[in-house]
A = this chain, B = another copy of it.
Amino acid sequence: MNPDAGLRERKKAKTRAELTEAALRQFTERGFDETTVEDIVGACDVSPRTFFRYFDSKEDVVIGFFDDLGAELVELLAGRPPDEAPFAAARAAFESFADIYQERRNRVCAVSQLAYETPPIRARLLDKHARWENGLARELARRMQTDPETDPRPRLIAAVSLAAFSTAVRGWVADGGRGELSPLVSANLRAVENGLDRTSVPSA
């Protein structure tokens, strides 16, 4: 926790972290619907009203974790050399992005598991992905020197590469996040890059 910040900032960060942890723990133990906001705040000495000052909704406690990741993904893409072909650049960005997932394996797996069994959370997560897709499409359009509103190509590349990435993550999580994510991501994106009826994706 940044010690330079004032007391106020530090306190806020602490409560936020406490709330997130308490919520995540109870959600996974008891289930999302079975855990009320009062249950969550009860473990943190905070009023229900304050909970909603930190999070827009109960779901946001879970999803909030993914909030900043979209920006990182776009930055990774923006950092690729300009002469790289668009999809190849996206693939490289996702390969690095996979490492971020790997680092936070526990959180990613916990949230994914939660999303798997809780429709509203799953829906929210998908919506978050859709926002990433927007960011990706915009950055790809910039890189391709085209208008993302009229030219469908950047959006298509964004959507398809993200789908390939998500599919890899899904498999990784289903396996308990044991192996390495990056190679799975790479394999999926290369398969798409080369045309799906041409290539054989390793079936392991």
Q: Tell which of B127, B153, B171, B194 touches A122, judged by Cβ atoms closer than 8 Å.
A: B127
Distance (whole angstroms) from the CB of A31 to the closest CB of chain B: 18
Q: List residues of chain B with CB within 8 A of the CB of A82.
A: none
Tell me which of B126, B150, B155, B196 contacts A127 (CB under 8 A): B126
Work out how many copies of this chain go into the complex: 2
- By size class, the interface of chain A is 35 or more
Query: Are B170 and A155 within 8 A (Cβ)?
Result: yes
Contacts of A195 in B (CB 8 A): 192-195, 198
B196 touches A86 (CB 8 A): yes
Contact of A146 among B87, B164, B203 (CB under 8 A): B203
Residue A119 interfacial (CB < 8 Å)? yes
CA A200 – CA B157 in complex, angstroms?
Answer: 12
Tell whether A197 is near chain B: CB-to-CB under 8 Å.
Answer: yes
CA A159 to CA B196, docked complex, whole Å: 12
In the assembled complex, the CB of A187 is this many whole angstroms from the nearest CB of chain B, namely: 8
Does A108 lie at the interface of the complex (its beta carbon under 8 Å from any beta carbon of B)?
no
Determine the chain B residues whose CB is within 8 A of the CB of A126 once the complex forms: 123, 126-127, 129-130
Question: Can you list 29 A-B contacts (CB < 8 A)?
Answer: A85-B197, A86-B197, A119-B127, A120-B123, A122-B127, A122-B130, A123-B124, A123-B126, A123-B127, A126-B126, A126-B129, A126-B130, A150-B204, A152-B171, A152-B184, A152-B188, A153-B201, A155-B170, A155-B171, A156-B164, A159-B167, A160-B164, A160-B196, A162-B163, A163-B163, A193-B195, A193-B197, A195-B195, A195-B198
5 tightest A-B CB contacts, nearest first = A123-B123, A126-B126, A163-B163, A85-B197, A123-B127
